Amino acid sequence: MKTSHSREDGLSLIELIVTVVLIGILGSAVVVIFVNSWRAQNEATTTGQATNSGQLVGQNLERAVRNGVATRVVGDRLDVHTGYTDSRQCQSFWVQNGGLFMSSTTTGLAGAARPWADAVARTAPGTPYFVLTGTVVDYSFNVTTDGAPVTISGEAKLRRADQGASGPCWN
Average pLDDT over residues 139-164: 80
Average pLDDT over residues 41-56: 85
Residues in Cβ contact with 114 at an 8 Å cutoff, skipping those fewer than 6 apart: 101, 102, 103
169 in any annotated domain: no
Confidence of residue 163 (pLDDT cuts 50, 70, 90): very low
pLDDT digit string, tens, across residues 97-131: 888 888 888 776 665 666 666 677 777 788 888 99
pTM over 0.75: no
Confidence of residue 18 (pLDDT cuts 50, 70, 90): very high
Separation of alpha carbons 126 and 128, rounded Å: 6
Judge contact between 146 and 38, C-beta under 8 A: no
59 in any annotated domain: yes
2 in any annotated domain: no
Average pLDDT over residues 144-153: 84
93 in any annotated domain: yes
pLDDT at 23: 95
Range of the domain at 127: 13-163
pLDDT at 108: 67
Which has more confidence, 124 or 7? 124
Across 19-28, 66-75, 109-118, the highest mean pLDDT is recorded for: 19-28
Handedness of CA 126, 48, 145, 95 (dihedral sign): positive
Q: How many domains does the chain have?
A: 1
Q: What is the mean pLDDT of the chain?
A: 82
